Amino acid sequence: MSIVRFCLLALGIGAVLTCTPKGSEADGAAAAPTGGAIAAMKLNSTAFAHQGEIPKRYTCEGDDVSPPLSWAVLPAGAKSLALVVDDPDAPDPQNPKRTWVHWVLYDIPTSATGLPEAVAQLPAGTREGKNDWNRPGYGGPCPPIGRHRYFHKLYALDVVLADLNQPTKADLEKAMSGHVIGKAELVGTYQKQGK
């Protein structure tokens, strides 16, 4: 079965998946190190549906805590996971100028199946990068104008990365280059009240 047909079939049954042919680097993460396609994984949240609105609790207008996330269908050969949450619509979705990074995690162990709401203790071995507030940790949606999209991207890697000393998203993507063997994406949206 072709990758495209598999992806369409999987999407038809409601899975939140990303299928990317080898060589596609749409968001900066490199293709798999061996032939074939990057494996599709599942990434979900009990707080919001794919393409749904992120509840206020997880934003700067609420408690600004991380949403619960769960994942499954990791590819064989996965040795670690990385998570990036970003907003490509900053500052204005009608005229985006940059992608704002909200969360960077890497070296998440493959034994982990998700992160709880308001995660205080990351899975053992997990390392944090810096978000665009120049600090580690989660920073929730806080769009200055309009409805923004927030991409939660989970990567399966064929290595455990070295300590990158709180990398930026760009630094992490460089380190992941050639090691991504699986990917999943969950998109939520948010617009401030009255904006």
- The span from the CA of 106 to the CA of 125, in Å, is 9
Q: What is the pLDDT of residue 37?
A: 73
- The span from the CA of 119 to the CA of 130, in Å, is 16
Evaluate the omega torsion of the peptide bond into residue 91 and state whether it is cis, within 30 degrees of 0. Answer: yes
- The span from the CA of 57 to the CA of 52, in Å, is 14
Q: What is the pLDDT of residue 170?
A: 98
CA-angle at 165, arms to 163 and 170, nearest 5°: 100
pLDDT in tens, 79-102: 999 999 999 999 999 999 999 999
Average pLDDT per block of 10 residues along the chain, 195 residues long: 36 37 42 66 98 98 98 96 98 96 98 97 98 98 97 98 98 97 98 82
CATH number of 3-190: 3.90.280.10
Q: What is the pLDDT of residue 8?
A: 33
Domain segments of the chain as ranges: 3-190
Rounded to the nearest integer, the mean pLDDT of the chain is 86
Q: What is the pLDDT of residue 192?
A: 94
DSSP string, the chain: --HHHHHHHHHHTT-----B-TT--TTSPPPPSSSSPBEE-EEE-SS--TTEEPPGGGSTTTT--PPPEEEE-PPTT--EEEEEEEEEEES-TTS--EEEEEEEEEEE-TT--EE-TT--SPPTT-EE-B-TTSSBS------SSS-EEEEEEEEEESSPPPP-SS--HHHHHHHHTT-EEEEEEEEEEE--TT-
